Structure 1
Amino acid sequence: MKLYPVLRAVIRPLSLVYAGGSRARVWLYRRRFFRQHRLPQIVVSIGNLTVGGTGKTPMVLWITQRLLEERKRVGILTRGYAGFGKSKRRGKPELSDEVRLLQARTAGQAPIGAGANRRAEAMRMEKEDVEWLVLDDGFQHLALARDVDVVLIDATNPFGGGLLPTGRLREPLPALERADILVITRSASAPAIEEQLRRYSTAPIFYAQTHLQQILSIPDGRGTEKQLVVPGKTKFFTFCGIGNPAGFWSDLNKRWGFHLVGARAFRDHHAYTTYELRKMERQAQAAGAEALVCTEKDVFNLPPNTFETLPAYYCRIEMRLNDPHGFWRAILASVKRHHGAAR
């Protein structure tokens, strides 16, 4: 979030008010003025301190898939975004892009509870014999107790340039003392960030990066078969409606070898219209693009028969940790420490 110096000076007092409110909220939960509900399931929370993408969804998938491999009965709790349970389309609740992505990637093996009342969703899952719950974006959701608090830190912008609304921080940095595990994403090593984190937390620190699994074609409505692309030999125009578009573009260009000739960012969870996509296609052609590329999440926000002239693809990614075995041991140790003590 970039602001002119004068504007930053004007709204900085609002950040101080926000910080005070955030600290007061945590204090009220700790003093039990606000009730924190403990669920019967083991709860693993995945969260962050900043607004925008830090890799929460890939991490939710990583942990869910690991639990499924160990034959655990696991479910996912998420807010659902975009007014789940409020917006209606053809008489049905409108699921968010992230929920639909999670459904597709878990292939129905992990039930998903989406809605503002995550406790109610968890109780519903208890009837399905779910033993473990992965709480998406849960660090600030203090109404639910958890057995593991995993906090993700984006190495490209670790501390967000200050608290909201001046910067991107959702809580003051001392909130990291609540974390059980810290994961620095988009980096294999960041000793300077580690040093700063150690001022606020003694939790074990791991590193993770998103790995490009596949480049998959987006159906064009005409049944046209798209040829397999080679990222470095094809000129791409990229677009996305996610929390951290710059991070995605950096991965495409610097880590995955895509030849980019242009880019366009939309707001997070943006529902694309045919008109703006046609306009973007013309923009891409003018830039010399031979194909379009977006994130997997964007696919769920595209209208049917999306593109007319350029082939379009999306990136399927997965999270890769520098020490997956150590990370899993840290999760189990936290579960043993918190889950057993609460019962």
Structure 2
Amino acid sequence: MTSVEAIWWGRPGPLARVVLLPLVLASLLFRAAAALRGWLYDRGLLRAARAAAPVVSIGNVAVGGAGKTPVAIAVATRLGARGRRVAILSRGYGATRSDPRVVSDGRALRLGPDAGGDEPVLLARRLPGVAVLCGPRRAALAPMATGDLGADALVLDDGFQHRALARDLDVVVLDAANPFGNGRLLPAGPNREPRAALRRAGLVWLSRVDLADPAEVDALRALARAATGREPVESRHAPVDVLDGALERSFGLGALRGARVALVSGIARPGAFRRTVEGLGAEVVSEHRFPDHHRFTAAELAPVLAGAATGPGGADLVVTTEKDAVRLAPADAAHARLRVVRIDAQIVRGADALDAALDAALARAAARLVPPSHPAAAPRAAARP
């Protein structure tokens, strides 16, 4: 854990508290700026664009690592099961390009992780038939998705603070094991907004509930009900497969049982990844952590890959996350001893609340998009996932 991570997510010692003092002053300025921006949107002085389709936003309060990507996959899948042509609008953080662009048109992947960003590419690979677009201005992506690609439902990835595009439902993801870190706003803490911002949400999604203290989960349930009037959705990050580095061959969940493994990751909260791998029966003999969205070089990976099964004390396999795997060079991804753990958000409680919130959002969007007297305003039947 870096010093910043210790300040944000852990229990900083006396020295870290001294370092925190100037950051607290900066966080007060950040809070004031965020409050002013929110006030301008609330009063209509800053206008949010309306898309020609229902918009469901997946976001969070704290930066990074809450588990938005598995939630976005789950929501897009549920919308697709309702007969919707879904497009995901992503910021494309970490990409080399910043123009509005199509990562996938739902039929073929058009961009790789460098130009499209690792998370958009991962979403495109996990969701055949779903278009994925990225760019810093999601309001500019919406007409591309609805007009050019024919989407009739939009999922706004990492959208809670992106208020330039109006939404019909805000889903806010909280990591139940550590939802708000030290409780402070950036840069003194990990939070983009105070927890009171949850009042803007339509639904709270608690991820990693299996790793959280039951009393803390109870408190978060009460917070979610008070903020939204709904029970939260609760999920665990469930491993569903172990793949090769190219994400093409399945080895099954038993592939890591009894193996000595080296972990490589460039994600916001690598501790949860380690616990997942250990839960699959592997023994972690070394761990190589890089910053979130890190682009691995051959020089960084070569010694780790070469060290697998080279002698006593070495690793049998090198294991990474699916988000990291999409950033690997083809030669590294093809390494025979590389394995990738695929994770899904497995809902353990609140599926009915999610379905009700999605159905209500689609109904609200239908009411604003189609005049009440128009025949198309009648609700259409949709299959449940």
TM-score where L is the length of structure 2: 0.79
Structure 1 residues 11, 219: CA separation in 2 closer, same or farther (over 3 Å shift)? closer
Letter in 2 for 1:51: V
Please tell me whether residue 169 in structure 1 is matched to residue 194 in structure 2.
no
Please tell me whether residue 216 in structure 1 is matched to residue 243 in structure 2.
yes
Q: Which residue of 1 aligns with 2:206?
A: 184
Structure 1 spans left out of the alignment, 5+ residues: none
Q: Which residue of 2 aligns with 1:39?
A: 51
Please tell me whether residue 125 in structure 1 is matched to residue 145 in structure 2.
yes
Identify which of 129, 139, 147 aligns with 2:168: 147
Structure 1 residues 306, 146: CA separation in 2 closer, same or farther (over 3 Å shift)? same
Letter in 2 for 1:340: A
Structure 1 residues 287, 11: CA separation in 2 closer, same or farther (over 3 Å shift)? farther
Structure 1 residues 194, 324: CA separation in 2 closer, same or farther (over 3 Å shift)? closer
Please tell me whether residue 246 in structure 1 is matched to residue 271 in structure 2.
yes
Check the 8 A contact 1:235/1:290 in 2, yes or no: yes
Q: Which residue of 2 aligns with 1:324?
A: 351
3-state DSSP of counterpart to 2:356: helix
Distance in 1 between the 2:369 and 2:41 partners? 16
CA RMSD of aligned residues (A): 2.7
1:236-286: CA deviation from partner (whole Å, max 9, x where unpaired):
1111111221222222224x3332222121111111111111233466668
Structure 2 spans left out of the alignment, 5+ residues: 8-15, 100-110, 371-385
Identity rate, percent: 32
Identify which of 258, 267, 273 aligns with 1:233: 258
State the 1:179 CA deviation: 0.5
Structure 1 residues 325, 23: CA separation in 2 closer, same or farther (over 3 Å shift)? same
State the 1:48 CA deviation: 0.4
3-state DSSP of counterpart to 1:103: helix
3-state DSSP of counterpart to 2:342: strand
Check the 8 A contact 1:281/1:307 in 2, yes or no: no
Distance in 1 between the 2:250 and 2:269 partners? 28
Letter in 1 for 2:177: T
- Farther off after superposition, 322-331 or 168-177: 322-331
State the 1:196 CA deviation: 4.5
Q: Which residue of 2 aligns with 1:293?
A: 319
State the 1:335 CA deviation: 3.8
3-state DSSP of counterpart to 2:89: strand
Letter in 2 for 1:262: S
State the 1:307 CA deviation: 7.4
Q: Which residue of 1 aligns with 2:119?
A: 98
Letter in 1 for 2:6: K
Q: How does 1:77-116 map to 2 (within 5 A)?
A: 77-83=89-95, 85-86=97-98, 94-107=115-128, 109-116=129-136
Structure 1 residues 304, 337: CA separation in 2 closer, same or farther (over 3 Å shift)? closer
Q: Which residue of 2 aligns with 1:20?
A: 32
TM-score where L is the length of structure 1: 0.88
Distance in 1 between the 2:38 and 2:369 partners? 19
State the 1:333 CA deviation: 2.2
State the 1:155 CA deviation: 1.2
- Farther off after superposition, 173-182 or 232-241: 232-241
1:109-155: CA deviation from partner (whole Å, max 9, x where unpaired):
11111111222221012223211000000000010100000000001
- Consecutive aligned runs of 4 or more in structure 1 exceeding 4 Å deviation: 196-201, 225-229, 282-287, 307-310
3-state DSSP of counterpart to 1:119: helix
Q: Which residue of 1 aligns with 2:287?
A: 263
Distance in 1 between the 2:244 and 2:145 partners? 35
3-state DSSP of counterpart to 2:257: helix
